[in-house]
Amino acid sequence: MIVKDPGTISVLFPKSFGSSQGELIYSTTTIGDLITKDTDEDGIPDWEEKLWGTDPTKKETTPGIGDVEAINKLKIAGGVDVTNEGEKTQNEEKLTRTDKFSRELFTAVVATSQNGVMDQAMIEKISTSLADQLQNSAPRKVFLLSDIKTTKDESAQAIDRYGTDLVRIQAKYPMKNTVLDVLQKFIIDENNVDVTALKELDLIILQTNKMINDMTKMSVPQFLASLHLDYINALERLAENISDIKLYDTDVMLSLGAITQYEENSILLESASTNILNAIIKKLNI
């Protein structure tokens, strides 16, 4: 499916990807190496020097004029603001996933343009990197057993109280719309999206976080502790997933990756819930 924000470049959003091999590779050099390689150590990457016509092996392509000065003059002549060039290294640490992939893609094109046309192998490597960028993000927060309240009381009354508390918490935070409802509004057709629809995810995220908070405070029979923790972490995973979907405007790669992973995270939550129910049934011999 092609997802397109009006006025921006179309992004390929395939249903599935092949196995990821990590960074893009050009010959035996990683794209990361190509981005940072600076043969003459003048602070300007080799690939950028080639774009501006300076010699990446010399700090002064024109004797008496440093390449940094020469390139800055060219940038200024082209209307580029060079006042914050010194902050580049710090800013690189703040790159979004979209920024990083764009740099990889751009550098791959630059590298192959110096060595002939882009062949099928390079296209496949770029596709693999795209697939890697769309993989599920690592959890930003993981709850531990120390984060929940457990009790050694495993009587029928305690178990019943636990189940009642779970139902009460879920009823306490109703969701007006589901994530799928919002995504249906977001994806207008195969070529257009409505980013404003994603604002409706705010309430879902808020309610989910409140559920998580309440579940860390309720009393949990010890035999259910690990399953209860799995359920909380599945909720947290889903809340983070939904938060990432909202970032379409600022980090389209992260957002599309979150959309592709939403079903998997929903299944994870459903499985965690089912495991709790089965454990209760087994304990009570129902």
Tokens of 76: 């200024």
Query: Nearest 5°: phi and psi at 234?
Result: -70, -40
* Contact residues for 197 (Cβ-Cβ < 8 A; gap 6+): 182, 185, 186
Which of 66, 99, 133 delimits the end of a domain? 133
Within a domain: residue 118? Answer: yes
pLDDT of residue 107: 56
Residue that wins the pLDDT comparison between 171 and 122: 171
Which of 133, 163, 184 delimits the end of a domain? 133
* Res. 183: pLDDT tops 80: yes
Within a domain: residue 159? Answer: yes
Query: Please, are residues 129 and 104 in contact by the beta-carbon 8 Å criterion?
Result: yes
Judgement on whether residues 112 and 160 belong to the same structural domain of the protein: no
Residue numbers of the domain that contains 41: 18-133
Which residues are bridge partners to 220 per DSSP?
Answer: 150
Within a domain: residue 273? Answer: yes
CA distance 124 to 286: 54
Secondary structure (3-state) at 143: coil
Domain count, the chain: 2
* Res. 244: pLDDT tops 80: yes
Which residues are bridge partners to 12 per DSSP?
Answer: 2
How many residues in total does the chain contain? 286
Within a domain: residue 108? Answer: yes
CA proximity to 221, closest of 157, 286, 142, 271 = 157
- Least-confidence region, from 94-103, 150-159, 167-176, 185-194: 94-103
Within a domain: residue 101? Answer: yes
Within a domain: residue 91? Answer: yes
> How distant, in Å, are the alpha carbons of 51, 76, 113, 147, 238 from that of 47?
7, 19, 11, 49, 40
- Least-confidence region, from 55-64, 83-92, 209-218: 83-92
Tell me what the pLDDT averaged over the chain comes to: 76
Q: Confidence class of residue 176 from pLDDT cuts 50, 70 and 90? A: confident
Judgement on whether residues 150 and 269 belong to the same structural domain of the protein: yes
Residue that wins the pLDDT comparison between 119 and 285: 285
Judgement on whether residues 150 and 274 belong to the same structural domain of the protein: yes
pLDDT of residue 273: 92
CA distance 170 to 166: 6
Within a domain: residue 6? Answer: no
Residue that wins the pLDDT comparison between 248 and 77: 248
Judgement on whether residues 119 and 184 belong to the same structural domain of the protein: no
* Res. 136: pLDDT tops 80: no
Q: Confidence class of residue 257 from pLDDT cuts 50, 70 and 90? A: confident
Judgement on whether residues 99 and 158 belong to the same structural domain of the protein: no
* Res. 232: pLDDT tops 90: yes
Transcribe 33-77 into DSSP letters: HHHH--TT-SSS-HHHHHHHT--TT-S-SBTTB-HHHHHHHHHHH
Residue 195 burial (CB count, 10 A): 13
Matching residue, tokens 């640490």: 93
pLDDT of residue 10: 27
Within a domain: residue 8? Answer: no
Q: Confidence class of residue 129 from pLDDT cuts 50, 70 and 90? A: low
Which of 109, 133, 157 delimits the end of a domain? 133
pLDDT of residue 240: 94
pLDDT of residue 124: 62
Judgement on whether residues 24 and 151 belong to the same structural domain of the protein: no
Judgement on whether residues 121 and 50 belong to the same structural domain of the protein: yes
* Res. 148: pLDDT tops 70: yes
Judgement on whether residues 85 and 183 belong to the same structural domain of the protein: no
